[in-house]
Amino acid sequence: MSTIAAISTPNAAGGIGIVKISGPDAISVADRVFAAVGSKKLSDLPGYSVRFGHVHDGDNELDQAVAIIYRAPKSYTGEDVVELQCHGGLYLMQQILRLCLENGAVPAEPGEFTKRAFLNGKMDLTEAESVMTLISAHGRQAADAAFGVLSGSLSGEINDIKDTFISAAAHMSAWVDYPDDEIPELDFEALKVEFTDAKSKLLSLIDNFDAGQAITEGIPTVIVGKPNVGKSTLMNLLLGRERSIVTEVAGTTRDVVEETARIGNVVLRLSDTAGIRESDDLVESIGIEYAKSKLNHSSLILAMIDGSNPLDEEDIAILEACKGKPSICILNKNDLGSTVTEKDVEAYVSKVLSISAKNKDSFEVLRESLEDILGTADFDTSAAMLINERQLNCCKKAVACIDEAISAIEMGLTMDAVNVSVDAAIEPLLELTGERVSDAVVNEVFSKFCVGK
Ligand code: GDP
């Protein structure tokens, strides 16, 4: 196993910067680049020791630093680890990292520290995945939810479900393989109840997925509407600052601006658009094409209409595009009157709101509607939750196999037949927690991490 090193603090100047080294030679690599005051070598010290000293390149002292030593297996990665805390200058940290690399370490891949923690059994795959969610959390709810998974809320739930199937499978195999022994016969009705219970736990995880994503990852959201209906004004209301340029001239919001906005418990990944009307203007057309594709790739549409003016064909075309998708129709400019009513538009969208984007109080109205439509208002962040598509797919696969097992019981099939479906249900659960998972999946999971984590 190689010894890896990386800068673990952000790629920017800061008060303190940390270069982390992990692997069998971590402490000797650190000894070559760091001299503790009092000249005691780090390799002579036990784990959890801290020493003040200097990072040096031969005779050339680079910085004062503090070295923290962790000895395997009592470290984040489960290996020997040294953290060199220096002054957080970017150039300085790059020099210190370079020194470590010249003295026996190799550069860490993205997420390699956490990957090693997973491979060394310090955490399961769901816990490892939650590290990234925790780092990128935009608010308390997201952080709470990610921390819950990191602390094992999801693994605990999945392990309980898995144990149900493992003990059923063991019992069935024993009964089939040793018919002469006094193994009690399986009560299929009781088994069906257990399987149905396990299935409903998985279904509740699956049902809460979208709300969890709204909280942790954010919902890709697009704001569409004709020019001048107030899209930029709405952006500014949601972001709480003048990010979009609000103008009186139709069609001037040409570029698509993307921003992340936290509205109550919900994180919206917002795109402002150039409107979706046809246009001959080349620059604007590029924006419009992009807007249309955004519409198809967004999970939530905020369709804006100037409610103080009658609906026209362009408004209807926009509303048509919302049909069947999670969407909110915002009848804007209600301070100027309400020519368009809720009844006129409700058939196209999931929800209709009448607001004035210019009025700051409209934020609360929007927040309530968003939490309502996304199901985040009562979201329990301490409960187990799925944090990505990989986990979601594992649960869906398990549910399909449980369904097969239940129908095998209902049809009165042999125990062997039930057992095949039970075994098949265990597989995706083992994959979810990472107990039985291919290298390709593991590499894919950690490739999304940042270097240094
Ligand atoms: P966009 O082209 O859709 O981005 O529209 P803008 O946000 O640039 O708004 C166009 C014009 O409508 C600006 O002059 C805004 O100040 C105005 N506007 C936006 N929302 C409201 C509203 O709720 N009430 C009124 N009276 N004017 C608004």
Ligand 1 nearest atom to the CA of residue 226, by list position: 3
pLDDT at 275: 45
* Cα–Cα distance measured from residue 403 to residue 417, given in angstroms and rounded to the nearest whole number: 13
pLDDT at 307: 96
Both ends of the chain: CA-CA distance in Å?
Answer: 18
* Cα–Cα distance measured from residue 251 to residue 277, given in angstroms and rounded to the nearest whole number: 9
Residues contacting 184, CB < 8 A, separation 6+:
none
Ligand 1 nearest atom to the CA of residue 247, by list position: 8
Distances (CA, A) of 135 to 80, 153, 315, 427, 450: 23, 18, 41, 29, 10
CA nearest to 77, candidates 38, 53, 47, 57: 47
The percentage of the chain sitting over the pLDDT mark of 90, rounded to a whole number, equals: 55
What's the pLDDT band for 242 if we cut at 50, 70, 90? low
Which residue(s) pair with 18 in the sheet?
A: 85
**Average pLDDT value over all residues in the chain:** 87
* Cα–Cα distance measured from residue 97 to residue 113, given in angstroms and rounded to the nearest whole number: 15
* pLDDT higher than threshold 60 for residue 389: yes
* Cα–Cα distance measured from residue 4 to residue 25, given in angstroms and rounded to the nearest whole number: 9
pLDDT at 282: 47
Ligand 1 nearest atom to the CA of residue 245, by list position: 8
pLDDT at 188: 85
pTM value?
0.77
Among 222, 223, 224, 228, the mutation site with the greatest number of ligand 1 atoms within 8 A of its Cβ is 228
* pLDDT higher than threshold 60 for residue 252: no
* Assigned token pair, 277: 């009307």
pLDDT at 452: 81
Dump pLDDT digits (tens) for 40-76.
899 999 999 999 999 999 999 999 999 999 999 999 9
* Cα–Cα distance measured from residue 107 to residue 90, given in angstroms and rounded to the nearest whole number: 17
The percentage of the chain sitting over the pLDDT mark of 70, rounded to a whole number, equals: 90
User: What is Dmax (Cα atoms) for the chain?
Assistant: 87
What's the pLDDT band for 274 if we cut at 50, 70, 90? very low
User: What backbone torsions phi and psi does residue 225 show, to the nearest 5 degrees?
Assistant: 160, 160
Q: Look at 332 and 260; give whichever has higher pLDDT.
A: 332
pLDDT at 426: 95
Q: How much distance in Å is there from the Cα of 363 to the middle of ligand 1?
A: 15
pLDDT at 34: 97
Contact yes or no for 373/350 (Cβ under 8 A): yes
Going by alpha carbons, the residue nearest to atom 15 of ligand 1 is 230
Distances (CA, A) of 280 to 277, 285, 341, 346, 354: 10, 7, 32, 31, 32
pLDDT at 74: 97
- Listed in sequence order, the DSSP H helices in 76-230 are 90-102, 112-119, 125-135, 140-150, 153-177, 188-207, 209-216
Ligand 1 nearest atom to the CA of residue 359, by list position: 23
Among 226, 232, 233, the mutation site with the greatest number of ligand 1 atoms within 8 A of its Cβ is 233
pLDDT at 32: 97
SS3 label, residue 333: coil
Residues contacting 108, CB < 8 A, separation 6+:
4, 5, 6, 20, 22, 451, 452
Mean pLDDT of 272-294: 53
Mean pLDDT of 170-194: 80
Mean pLDDT of 418-443: 92
Dump pLDDT digits (tens) for 392-406.
999 999 999 999 999
* Cα–Cα distance measured from residue 66 to residue 76, given in angstroms and rounded to the nearest whole number: 18
Going by alpha carbons, the residue nearest to atom 8 of ligand 1 is 246
Q: Look at 409 and 183; give whichever has higher pLDDT.
A: 409
Dump pLDDT digits (tens) for 191-236.
999 999 999 999 999 999 988 888 888 888 888 888 889 988 888 8
SS3 per residue for 232-282: HHHHHHHHCCCCCCCCCCCCCCCCCCEEEEEECCEEEEEECCCCCCCCCCH
* Cα–Cα distance measured from residue 330 to residue 5, given in angstroms and rounded to the nearest whole number: 51
What's the pLDDT band for 317 if we cut at 50, 70, 90? confident
Site residues for ligand 1, CB cut-off 6 Å: 225, 227-233, 246-248, 253, 332-333, 335-336, 356-358
What's the pLDDT band for 329 if we cut at 50, 70, 90? very high
